[in-house]
C-alpha cells in the first residue's frame, strides 16, 4: 500500500460542523496522472508548537494503480474532519507534488459552540454565562428558552453588536443537548 502525493491541488473548501465542540471539515479536490488512484487522504502535519501564522499543513496523498494504465489526468477528492479546531487556526495549506493551495477560515463565519446558563445580566440582549464564568450575549431565535435554562448555543461571533457586553453570538442553533455532526 504505497501512497504518493497527488499531482495537483485544484481547490480546498472549509466548513465548520455545528457540533460541540465545533469541528472543521476540509475538502480538497485535485488531479492525478492516471485513472485508478484510490484511498485519497489528507494527512495532517504534526506540530510541536502551533504554526505562528495559524495555517495548518496537510499532504494530499493517494494510492496509485498497481497495473499499467493510460496517462490521462483524472480528478480525485479527499476529506478530513478536524476533531478539535485550534484557537489560532486561520486556515489550512494542502500540498500536492507540483503545488500547494491555502484556504483561509473567514473570521465572520467562525462558528462557536458554548454551554452555559441563560442569565438576566444582559443590558440589551439575552446573556449566557459559562461554567468558566465567561459572559456571552445572544441575538437570534432562542426557541423559547428562558433565564435559568442550561443550554448549548452554536452560532457565529458577531463583528458588530448592540448588546453592549460580552462576546455576541448570532445564534444558529440552541438546545438542551449538544448538536451532533
pLDDT in tens, 120-175: 999 899 999 998 898 999 999 999 999 999 999 988 877 677 888 888 888 888 99
Residue 12 in contact with residue 66, Cβ under 8 Å?
Answer: no
pLDDT confidence of 181, banded at 50, 70, 90?
low
At residue 109, the pLDDT reads 55
pTM of the model: 0.64
- Taken in order of first residue, the domains within the chain and their CATH numbers are 4-105 (2.60.40), 109-175 (2.40.50.500)
Tell me the per-residue pLDDT of 58-105, one tens digit each, with 9 for 90 and over.
999 999 999 999 999 999 999 999 998 887 888 999 999 999 999 988
Other CB atoms within a 10 A radius of the CB of residue 16 amount to 19
Other CB atoms within a 10 A radius of the CB of residue 10 amount to 17
Distances (CA, A) of 1 to 52, 65, 160: 34, 10, 51
Q: Which of 107, 126, 109 lies closest to 117, judged by CA?
A: 126
Q: Which sign, positive or negative, has the C-alpha torsion 46, 48, 50, 53?
A: negative
pLDDT confidence of 22, banded at 50, 70, 90?
confident
DSSP label at residue 166: S
DSSP label at residue 131: T
Amino acid at each position: 500500500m504505497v501512497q504518493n502525493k497527488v499531482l495537483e491541488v485544484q481547490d480546498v473548501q472549509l466548513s465548520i460542523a455545528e457540533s460541540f465542540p465545533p469541528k472543521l471539515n476540509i475538502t480538497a479536490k485535485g488531479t492525478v496522472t492516471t485513472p485508478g488512484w484510490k484511498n485519497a487522504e489528507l494527512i495532517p502535519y504534526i506540530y510541536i508548537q502551533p504554526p505562528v501564522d495559524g495555517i495548518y499543513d496537510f499532504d494530499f496523498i493517494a494510492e496509485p494503480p498497481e497495473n499499467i494504465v493510460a496517462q490521462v489526468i483524472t480528478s480525485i477528492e479527499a476529506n478530513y474532519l478536524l476533531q478539535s479546531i485550534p484557537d489560532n487556526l486561520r486556515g489550512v495549506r494542502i500540498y500536492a507534488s507540483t503545488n500547494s493551495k491555502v484556504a483561509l477560515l473567514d473570521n465572520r463565519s467562525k462558528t462557536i459552540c458554548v454551554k452555559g446558563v441563560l442569565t438576566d445580566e444582559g443590558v440589551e440582549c439575552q446573556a449566557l454565562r459559562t461554567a468558566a464564568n465567561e459572559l456571552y450575549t445572544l441575538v437570534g431565535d432562542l426557541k423559547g428558552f428562558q433565564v435559568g435554562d442550561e443550554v448549548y448555543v452554536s452560532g457565529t461571533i458577531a463583528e458588530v453588536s448592540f448588546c453592549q457586553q460580552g462576546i455576541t453570538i448570532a445564534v444558529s442553533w440552541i438546545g438542551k443537548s449538544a448538536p451532533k455532526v
